[in-house]
Structure 1
Amino acid sequence: MVDKEAVLDGYDTVARVYTEERSRSHKERKALSSLLNFLSPESRVLDAGCGGGKPFLRQLSSQFQQTIGLDFSTKQLEIAASNAPEATLLCGDMTRIPLTDGCADAILASHSLIHIPSDTHQTVIDEFARVLRPGGRLLVSEGLQKWEGTNINWLDAGAEMQWDIAGAETTRAQLETAGFHIQTEYGAPNTLPEDEDEEAGWIFFETTLTQS
């Protein structure tokens, strides 16, 4: 099972390397564009697991008046403050999002759910449903297959990183349990340099909250 403190230490250690290396695949851009088309400039958007603000939070904060970045790594948030100065930044845990019920029009959770223990994934998805308004949109990524593992030298930065991937089938069921209707699914390749030769290993679920 994922050790949350190990993940936190890992992201603190690789903060700058991760922010610079992270890029978006064509499928990720397509998924994000679909979400953005649903929104208006006045929409309130949460980037859950925003990291250093690249590539997503910076774009969101340039397009929407109310953009919030949530991460539990203070080092990542320090970088996000530079990359997305217009965004409101919160340090917190996705299992207890420090926002009021129904306050967000959309939530993006890209490569963040996979770093928390799988037995709390439903809790996080339920939190997304709590924070979203009815009819709000969630774009969340997950690994295609269930997998749990550790890299002791992630990104060659001397930091340990851990993953607890529930897999697409489990995540579909969890989204439906929380009241989300899945609109579209996008397969996406890995986008970090050490994974660039791998086939598509991720899936983005674009969903609508059908009940509060």
Structure 2
Amino acid sequence: MGAASWLDDTRTSYDTVATSYADLLRDALAGEPFQRGILGLFAELVRAQGSGPVADMGCGPGRITAHLHGLGLDAFGVDLSPAMIEVARRDHPNLRFEVGSMTRLDLADASLTGLLAWFSLIHVPDEDVPGVLAGFHRALRPGGVVLLGFFAGEGSRLKTQGYGGHPMRVHVHRRPPQRVAGWLDAAGFTVDAEMTHRPAPDVEGGFVFAHR
């Protein structure tokens, strides 16, 4: 699958489900103490590096961006889906949101203190991940912190129906934390921690912290 194809499919899919996605997940973080703890640790690590912008890449409707802002970070969101950005701006009018792709990161070199990709790399094919992480590395200043959240495990599946029963066409990729950590190493990051979380018997989340 070419880059244009999966990017177009992802954009169209999330444009289609944007409103339903926002409605279904708006308050989900309130019931996720482990996720809140992981995001709190990220915020603490970023604050230790001083003030500066924090990018939430693949921000969707902005719920995690807003949470980071509530933790004292100068957070802004970027998403491939214009409809998601429209919802994010509606729901969080005091925050900054932009349409953009992590495959062609439109951010200045060394302009970020922190970068979060919260279950947004899950649609990026393996062969395109190194280029994405190279862009993350370029955009972070020395000492800047990155946190990647993703579905842990092996294999991929084609998701054809999503939030609210709307049609989608996105591949969902699962990766072991060790593989993601290896990609970060190869991109020039120093990996600080690898974590897994099992919120349900058949669901496993992976989290990797690193810094430039």
- Which TM-score tier does this pair reach, normalised by the shorter chain? 0.7 to 0.9
- 2:203 corresponds to 1:205: no
TM-score normalised by the chain length of structure 2: 0.86
Q: Which whole-Å CA distance do the structure 2 matches of 1:80 and 1:107 have between them?
A: 18
Partner of 1:162: 170
Partner of 2:191: 182
Q: Structure 2: which 5+ runs fail to align? A: none
Q: Which whole-Å CA distance do the structure 1 matches of 2:105 and 2:72 have between them?
A: 20
Q: Which whole-Å CA distance do the structure 1 matches of 2:40 and 2:128 have between them?
A: 29
Look up the SS of the partner of 1:39 in the other structure. helix
Moved more, 146-155 or 157-166: 157-166
Deviation of 1:8 after TM superposition, in Å, equals 1.2
Deviation of 1:64 after TM superposition, in Å, equals 4.2
Q: Does the CA contact (< 8 Å) of 2:14 and 2:84 recur in 1?
A: yes
Q: Does the CA contact (< 8 Å) of 1:48 and 1:108 recur in 2?
A: yes
Residue among 80, 89, 93 paired with 1:72: 80
Residue among 30, 38, 42 paired with 2:37: 30
Bigger RCO (CA 8 Å, 6+ sep): 1
Mapping for residues 56-135 of structure 1, pairs under 5 Å: 56-64=64-72, 66-135=74-143
Q: Does the CA contact (< 8 Å) of 2:161 and 2:168 recur in 1?
A: yes
Moved more, 1-10 or 133-142: 1-10
Q: Does the CA contact (< 8 Å) of 1:19 and 1:52 recur in 2?
A: yes
Partner of 1:142: 150
Look up the SS of the partner of 1:14 in the other structure. helix
Which letter does structure 2 place at the counterpart of 1:73? S
Which letter does structure 2 place at the counterpart of 1:87? L
- 2:57 corresponds to 1:48: yes
Amino-acid identity (%):
25
CA deviations on 1:85-139 (whole Å, 9 max, x unpaired) are 2322221110111110000000010010011222101111111101000111001
How many corresponding residue pairs?
Answer: 202
Deviation of 1:164 after TM superposition, in Å, equals 4.3
RMSD: 2.0
